[in-house]
Amino acid sequence: SLFYKSALSNVSEVNDAVLFDLKEGQVLLALETNLVKLAANTLIPNQIVDIYVTLEDRERNHVFSELLRGVRILGVKDHLGLDLDDPKSSGAPHVLQLAITKEALPVLQKAIDIGEVSYYAAKDAYLSTSECEIVWDSDAMQLLGYEKSPQ
C-alpha cells in the first residue's frame, strides 16, 4: 500500500508518545507538580530522581523516608498537557510523568494516598543499575505496612 508523507506523524508529536519511552514492566504515573517541587524547573525529561515520602507514625510524628531510587522522568507538562518547551506552553509545570515499575506502582500509590510524596535529583541515583528500585529497608516501607522484599 502507498503512504502519503503528509499522512504520517512524527512519533514525538503524538499525544501518547511518552508511552514509547516506557521499558518492559513499566507504567506511566502522572503526579501533580509545581515550579517549587520541580526545583525551579531543573528537573527535566530523562533525568533520574529519588522519591521520598513523609508519613505519620503511631505517635503522630512526621517521618521523612526514601521510598524509590532511580526513577526516570518521562515528561513535564503544563496545565494544558503541553511539554514545557512547546511554544504554546504556559511554561508553568503542572504534571510530572514518571516511569514506574508495575511492582512499585501500588507502593507509590499507597504513599501518595496517605502521605506527601516528594522527589529529588541525586547524583548517586545514576549509579544504580536498575530503574525504579523499591527501598525495602526504609522506614517508609514499614509505615506503609510492608515488612520485607517479597523476593
User: Span 56-64, mean pLDDT?
Assistant: 92
For residues 68 and 53, give the distance between their C-alpha atoms in angstroms, rounded to a whole number. Answer: 9
Look at residue 10 in the predicted model and tell me its pLDDT: 42
Q: Is the pLDDT of residue 78 over 80?
A: yes
Mean pLDDT over residues 113-139, rounded?
86
pLDDT at 2 over 80: no
- Note whether 118 and 54 are within 8 A (CB): yes
Closest CA relative to residue 100, chosen from 136, 76, 141, 132: 132
% of residues, the chain, pLDDT over 90: 48
pLDDT at 27: 94
DSSP 82-111: -BTTSTTS-S---EEEEEEETTTHHHHHHH
pLDDT tops 90 at residue 103: yes
pLDDT at site 44: 85
Q: What is the mean pLDDT of the chain?
A: 83
How is residue 30 written as a grid cell? 502522572
Buried b / exposed e over 65-94, threshold 16 CB at 10 Å, is: bbbbbbbbbbbbbbeeeeebeeeebeeebb
pLDDT class of 133 with cuts at 50, 70, 90: very high
Is 141 a residue whose pLDDT tops 70?
Answer: yes
Residue-wise pLDDT for 8-57, tens only, equals: 444 444 455 667 789 999 999 999 887 766 665 578 888 999 999 999 98
| Contact predicate 71/132, CB 8 Å | yes
**C-alpha distances out from residue 69 to 31, 81, 126, Å:** 16, 26, 9
